Amino acid sequence: MTTIIGAWIAAALTLFIFSFLYKDNPFYKLAEHIFVGVSAGYWVVYEVRNVVIPNMIEPVSQGRYIYIVSGIMGLMMLTRVLPKIGWLSRWAIAFTVGMTSGYFLVTYLQSHALEQVRATLLPLNSPNNILIIVGVLTALIYFFFSKEHKGVFGKTAKVGIWFLMIAFGASFGYTVMARVSLLIGRMHFLLSDWLRLID
């Protein structure tokens, strides 16, 4: 019985969301508010159970009182909603941003920048490698604004634009495919699990 009720609720909410395709309406707003509320409630419980308790409550209960500092900084961030003491949040945010920037600077350089350079240093023994190197160099030339894009330099920059547009197009196509896949999943749910018109 609970499975049937759950399927009807899920189908109703799905149709409420699809109703936005016609125009904005109260059914869509209801489904949107339910989704946002449930998501917010879920993430609050998730953060308390998987972040606050293991990273602050448990260490403090074991005598590691230094973890109280992180709790105080977390509370300082929440003061942003109170105008009179909202300035306290700046200290916690500044510390978090500074510490995170310093920590991730090295890891980002190693995992992204150096890996990107290493991935471009390829032997010129295959058309794919040549295409990758030409694409990277021409795209970099396009973003070199200290020299005017004229002559050979300008034509090279135009080749870089083509590579960038192809990359953006592929990324957009991937995004569209993902959205179509979600649509197919919802339609399959409506036609199979709810209406049982297909197997």
Tens digits of residue pLDDT in 147-197: 899 999 999 999 999 999 999 999 999 999 999 999 999 999 999 989 999
Average pLDDT over residues 53-75: 95
Which two structure tokens, joined as six digits, stand for 190?
Answer: 């409506």
In the predicted structure, residue 109 carries a pLDDT above the cut 90: no
Domain ranges in the chain are: 122-199
Average pLDDT over residues 24-30: 97
Tens digits of residue pLDDT in 69-105: 999 999 999 999 999 999 999 999 999 999 999 989 9
Q: Model pTM?
A: 0.69
Per-residue confidence (pLDDT) for residue 1, from 0 to 100: 80
Tens digits of residue pLDDT in 28-46: 999 999 999 999 999 999 9
In the predicted structure, residue 113 carries a pLDDT above the cut 90: no
Of the pLDDT bands very low, low, confident and very high (cuts 50, 70, 90), residue 145 is confident
Of the pLDDT bands very low, low, confident and very high (cuts 50, 70, 90), residue 8 is very high
User: CB-based contacts of 11: which residues, under 8 Å, 6+ apart?
Assistant: 189, 190, 194
- What average pLDDT is seen over the chain? 94
